[in-house]
Structure 1
Amino acid sequence: MGLHPQHVAAAASLLSESSRSIMLTYMLDGRFHTSGELARAAGITPQTASFHLKKLEEAGFLDQTKQGRHRYYGLKDPAIAQVIESLLTITPPAQVSSFKQAAEDQAIRYARTCYDHLAGSLGIQVAKALVDSGYIIQDHDQFILTAKGEAFFSNFGINLETTRRKRRSFSHCCLDWSERKHHLAGALGSEMLERFLEMEWLRRKPESRALLLTEKGRNGFAEVFGLDTANIHKTHDNKVYLR
C-alpha cells in the first residue's frame, strides 16, 4: 500500500496532541511502561491515558506486552524514536523555572537514552572520539566502520557479526536535539550503550531518560576515549530548558 497525504496528516494529528507527545517522549528511554506511569508523566487520568495509548497502538507507534494484570507499552521500533527525536530538534523548548526541572534538564542534556543508544553531550563526544580515532567515518547520514574500528569494537566486547545480523540500520547518524550534532545510533549504537551499562560506566536514572555517569565511567571514558567527562557539557546560553 502506498503512502498518501492523508496518512501523513493522520500521523501528524496523533503527535500534535500534547498528552500523546509527552508519553511518546517519555518512552524514548527505550523501556516499557504501564499506562499508570505514562499517565503520571503526562499529568492525565489513567482512563485518558488508556484512550491515547489505544490510538497510538492502532496507528503502529507502540508495542504492548502483558505481564500479570499489567499491560506495558513501548515504542514499536527505533524508526519511531528517530522521528520523535528529529521533531525535538525543530521544536522550541519550554523554559522551566524550578530547581527540580533545571536539574533534570541538565541531566538529560548531559547523557540520556535516545530509544536504545546514547545521546546528549556525552553521546556526541563519544561519536567524535570514534571519528577522531579513525574507528568510524561519517558519510552523510551514516557512520562507516573502518578496519581499525572493527578491531576496536571487538576488543570492547561487541560481537559485530551478531550486531550486523539485526534487522535494522547498522550505524547511522542521529541528530541530537540538544547539541544539533550527530551521535551514533543503529544496532552498533545500541550495543555500545548496552556495554556502557554492563560495565557500570552509566546507570539509568529512575523515571527519566537521563543516564548517570559513575566513577567507573569517568575513568573508563577517559582511558578508552580520552574524554574529560567533567568538562563535556557546555551551556549555550543562560536559560534552562526541558524536553
Structure 2
Amino acid sequence: MPGEPDIATVAQAIGEPARAAMLLQLMDGGEHTARALAAVAGIAPSTASSHLRRLGEADLIEVTDAGRQRLHRLAGPAVAQLVEALAALAPPRLPDRFQPDPPAGPLLRARVCYGHLAGQLGVDLAVVLREDGVVGDLAPGETSVVRTFDHPVLAALGIGELPGAGPAVRACLDWSHGTVHLAGALGTALLTALLGAGWLRRRPRGRALRITETGRRRLGELGVG
C-alpha cells in the first residue's frame, strides 16, 4: 500500500539556485536548449547537463530531440503550479548571479506564466473580467467557465470562443501580487491575443513582457490598469 508521498525528492531537485533559475525560465512555456538554460542560470553548459538530468529524474521537465538539439520544457501544468506556489512563499529574489534579464520591475508588471499572463497586468485583467461578470470569484486552483464573451476587452482582442480541452478558467496564484490571475484556456487566449495585437512584446531574455505604447493606450481605454 502506498504511504505518504516523497515530497523530499521533488524539493531536493528544485532546491538548488541554478536549477531553480532554469525552472523559472521554463515557466515561459517554451522549449529551451541546455546551453540557453545554462546562460540563464549563469553556469557552464557542461554543468547544466547534470542539473537538467536531476530535474528530469524528478519528473519536473521533459526532453525531446529536435535534430541535433535536445529541447527541455516543463513536464506539465502541475509543475508550473508548483513553481508558482513556491514563488509565492519564497524570498523576494534569487541570488544576483541567477537573476534573468530584465530586472524585477518589468517582471512584476507583466510576464509569462506557463502560457498565460501574470504580473500586475494579469491581475488587473482578472479584476476587470471578474467585476464585469465574465468569470466568477475563484480561489487559487479553482476552475470555472466563461459566463459570457460579451465584453469590451474580449471583443477588442477578438476572443469569442475557447478550445474545448482543459478548464476554460483556472485561478492561478500570482506570487508577485498575492492574488490571482487567469490561467486555463481563457488565460492562454488573452496572452496570445495581446501578443498578436502588438499590445505586448516578448523581451530577448527572461519571462518579462513589454507593454507597448499601443497596448498602454488601448488597455487604458478599456479600463484595465
TM bin, normalised by shorter chain, reads: 0.7 to 0.9
The change in CA–CA distance for 1:223 and 1:77 in structure 2 (over 3 A counts) is same
Aligned to 1:5: 5
> Cα deviation per residue 1:177-199 (whole Å; 9 max; x = unaligned)?
11111111122111110111111
SS in 1 for 2:71: strand
Please report the RMSD computed on the Cα atoms of aligned residues, expressed in angstroms. Answer: 2.6
Distance across 1 between alignment mates of 2:200 and 2:68 = 32
2:32 aligned with 1:62: no
Q: 1:2 to 1:219 in 2, by over 3 A?
A: farther
Q: Which amino acid aligns with 1:195?
A: A
2:72 counterpart SS class: strand
Question: How far 1:157 sits from its partner (Å)?
Answer: 2.6
Determine the C-alpha separation between the residues in 2 that align with 1:101 and 1:70: 23
Which of 182, 195, 198 aligns to 1:197? It is 195
Could you tell me how far 1:146 is from its partner in structure 2? 5.2
Give 1:160's aligned amino acid.
E
**Counterpart in the other structure of 1:132:** 131
Cα displacement (A) at 1:59: 2.3
- Confirm or deny that 1:222 pairs with 2:220: yes
* Local SS of the residue matching 1:121: helix
Summarize the alignment of residues 82-101 of structure 1 with structure 2, pairs less than 5 Å apart. 82-94=81-93
Q: Percent identity?
A: 37
Report what 2:110 is aligned to: 111
User: What is the DSSP-based 3-state SS (H/G/I as helix, E as strand, rest coil) of the residue aligned with 1:73?
Assistant: strand
Q: 1:154 to 1:35 in 2, by over 3 A?
A: same
Distance 1:97 1:193 in 2: 29
CA 1:119 to 1:139, structure 2 compared with 1: closer, same or farther past 3 Å?
A: closer
Q: CA deviation at 1:2?
A: 4.9
SS at match of 1:81: helix
Matched-pair contact (CA < 8 Å) for 1:137–1:143: no
| Farther-moved stretch of structure 1 (192-201 vs 87-96) | 87-96
Going from structure 1 to structure 2, the CA distance change for 1:161 and 1:169 (only over 3 Å counts) comes to closer
How has the CA–CA distance of structure 1 residues 27 and 102 changed in structure 2, closer, same or farther, with 3 Å as cutoff?
closer
Paired residues of 2:17 and 2:94 also in contact (CA < 8 A): no
Which residue number in structure 2 is paired with residue 45 of structure 1? Answer: 44
Q: In the alignment, residue 137 of structure 2 is paired with which amino acid?
A: Q
Tell me if the contact between 1:112 and 1:119 (Cα under 8 Å) persists in the aligned partners: yes
Contact 2:102–2:208 (CA<8 Å) still a contact in 1? no
Secondary structure in 1 matching 2:137: strand
Matches of 2:128 and 2:136 in 1, distance apart?
11
Aligned to 1:158: 159
Task: Report if aligned partners of 2:14, 2:55 keep a CA contact under 8 Å in 1.
Answer: no
Q: How far apart are residue 5 of structure 1 and its match?
A: 3.0
SS in 1 for 2:65: strand
| Aligned-partner residue type, residue 81 of structure 2 | Q
Instruction: Count how many residue pairs are aligned between Structure 1 and Structure 2.
Output: 221
State the SS of the aligned residue for 1:150: coil
Cα deviation for residue 88 of structure 1 reads 0.7
Q: How far apart in 1 are the matches of 2:184 and 2:162?
A: 14
Change in CA separation of 1:12 and 1:113 when aligned onto 2, cut-off 3 Å: same
SS at match of 2:103: helix
| Cα distance in 2 for residues equivalent to 1:19 and 1:198 | 32
**Structure 1, residues 202-240: CA drift from partner, whole Å, max 9, x if none?**
01111111000112211221233x124xxxxxxxxxxxx
Q: Find out whether 1:210 has 2:208 as its counterpart.
A: yes
Q: Which residue of 1 aligns with 2:183?
A: 185
Q: Hey, what's the Cα distance between the residues in 1 that align with 2:59 and 2:94?
A: 31
Higher helix proportion:
1
